Amino acid sequence: MYPRVCSSMLAPSGKAAAAAAAAASRIMAAARGRRLYSSASAAESDNIEPIRGLDLGVAHSKLLLRTVASVRASDELRAAGVAEGETRKMNMCQAVNDAMRHALATDETSVVFGEDVAFGGVFRCSVGLADDFGRERIFNTPLTEQGIAGFAIGMAAMGHTAIAEIQFADYIFPAFDQIVNEAAKYRYRSGNQFDVGGLTIRTPCSAVGHGAHYHSQSPEAFFAHVPGLKVLMPRSPIQAKGLLLAAIRDRNPTIVFEPKILYRSAVEQVPIDDYELPLSKAEILKPGADVTVVGYGSQIYALENAIQMIERDMPGVTCELIDLRTILPYDADTVAASVNKTGRLVVAHEAPRTQGFAAELAAEIQERCFLRLESPIQRVCGLFIPHPLVYERFYMPCAVRTYEAIKSSLSY
């Protein structure tokens, strides 16, 4: 199994090392260089159990609203008042850009800044904003994440809407003190006389297939431990636009982690009008009766594939898929209601398993749903190692590992 191969790689010795190396070679040969969470053709992995020809990844996802009709049918977009309006085909990068455009156009105190954002940023999320709104509102900063965060806190404290970009989530740690000890505590320590509610920090996160140690991390759990912050991670262009606008306008400092692998790969028909999606509200993407499966961000697509395999291989079983969306404060009520119905829970995220956010959710649901649980709560997460390069496929909580966790939960 994948987890056993991965665990053996941490400290191989003797026969265990040889067995792990042989198993890894077989799997890698079968995969023939393809990442199991990618959107490449399934033809390359027909002989890998339990995939057997299933089209994997975001490119084949049924969760994306790719047609105008699917937008019209969305209850959430109807509630936001934009389901019947004009849409435009956008990837997630373009949707983020569109959200910032609306924020800048409707709030003259809003500013966007960070490393290289004036020319569009390394992922081009801010392209064209400086031309349209001026370089006094869209500007570059020195290469200092602590300085970016501190400057953003100062601007927000003076009444501005500060939209700061940390170029990669892996480099947010120099800003940790400013975010945790200043931004998160500003309102509390002043007895609500002052606040930095106009602060939003955007940052690209998570695996991209070639980022290795310093361009692949998912550090959301570090900030989910901090009272005074809001933390979220969208899964798609429509979600990114609505959640980012809600974050910018929310009167609390907010961090928006954006899975960078979705910037180009996730494409939807996005309403062009201004709209917000609710923070701290999970979304049930697929109803089911036998097991609850929870994730957020790009991990949602691995969970979708795992559910497809389970429901194919176990006729009659249905899985409920929930996108948490907001990680702090998270929607425990929706998850608990689902688990009280299904009796089982599988939680997945890319960050390492040890002390990851899945542990918090598992503990909360165990307290709320203990008498209704039919099996131990399962966690499917990244391995407890630095994010690897050549072995990234073994690190990832892919569809196969999630499939095994759901199967284990159902057969307990």
Given the residues 115, 145, 165, 360, the one annotated as active site: 145
DSSP for residue 377: P
> In angstroms, how far is CA 282 from the centroid of its own chain?
13
In order, the DSSP letters of 68-92 are: HHHHHT-HHHHHHT-TTS-EEEEEH
Given the residues 102, 115, 160, 215, the one annotated as active site: 215
Distance CA 197, CA 195 (A): 6
Distance CA 275, CA 82 (A): 7
CA neighbours closer than 13 Å in the CB half-sphere of residue 297: 28
CA neighbours closer than 13 Å in the CB half-sphere of residue 359: 12
81 close to 243: Cβ distance less than 8 angstroms: no
The dihedrals phi and psi of 348, each to the nearest 5 degrees, come to -140, 140
Classified as helix, coil or strand, 368 is helix
Distance CA 97, CA 132 (A): 12
Here the tokens at position 156 are: 């927000």
Give catalytic status of residue 215 as yes or no. yes
Number of C-beta neighbours around residue 158 at 10 A: 12
> In angstroms, how far is CA 227 from the centroid of its own chain?
20
Number of C-beta neighbours around residue 310 at 10 A: 24
The contacts of residue 340 (CB under 8 Å, 6+ apart) are: 368, 369, 372
Give catalytic status of residue 145 as yes or no. yes
Catalytic site positions: 145, 215
